[in-house]
């Protein structure tokens, strides 16, 4: 299964700002709702934890994380399960201000972060997840 990533908008049919009910209807798949006591809103998990949707008060989508083996495409380029160095190179062409740390990278310009925990030891290790997020997500 693959999803198209739209910077600052969402992933596939999921858009930031959708209500919990709108997300569940758009996904139209069985889900688990995980209670987050610190926020008062749940996190929804679809496709046996391969897609997680995070909500902010009052129950609006703020981020979507997708895990391999699913695919996340941006301008025809797959961001998930590909060599980290390839994904980093592609994203750096679109955002010259990438933040890189031990877990991977974050592009606040595009609203996406890449999780690749082994990238420092092995730059060609595959990306493990893609988190698409709305403006201000990392600042909250």
Task: Give residue 129's region: left, alpha or beta (phi > 0; psi -120 to 50).
Answer: beta
pLDDT digits (tens, 9 = 90+) for 51-62: 999 999 999 999
Residue 107: CB atoms within 10 Å: 20
Please report the pLDDT score of residue 40 as a whole number. Answer: 83
β-bridge partners, 72 = 3
Point out the residues of the chain with pLDDT beneath 50: none
* Architecture, CATH, for domain 1-135: Sandwich (2.60)
C-beta of residue 112 within 8 angstroms of C-beta of residue 91: yes
Specify burial of residue 132 (Cβ count, 10 A radius: 0-12, 13-18, 19+).
Answer: buried
Residue with tokens 């703020």: 62
Task: Please report, for the chain, the start and end positions of each structural domain, with discontinuous segments joined by +.
Answer: 1-135
């Amino acid at each position: 299964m693959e999803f198209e990533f739209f910077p600052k908008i969402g992933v596939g049919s999921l858009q930031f700002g959708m209500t919990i009910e709108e997300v569940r209807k758009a996904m139209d798949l069985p889900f688990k709702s995980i209670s987050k006591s610190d926020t008062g809103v749940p996190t929804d998990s679809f496709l046996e934890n391969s897609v997680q949707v995070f909500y902010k008060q009052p129950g609006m989508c703020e981020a979507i994380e997708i895990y391999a083996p699913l695919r996340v495409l941006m301008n025809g380029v797959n961001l998930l399960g590909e060599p980290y160095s390839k994904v980093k190179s592609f994203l750096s062409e679109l955002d010259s201000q990438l933040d890189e740390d031990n877990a991977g990278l974050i592009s606040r310009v595009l609203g996406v972060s890449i999780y690749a925990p082994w990238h420092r030891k092995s730059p060609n290790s595959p990306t493990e997840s893609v988190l698409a997020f709305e403006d201000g997500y990392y600042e909250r």
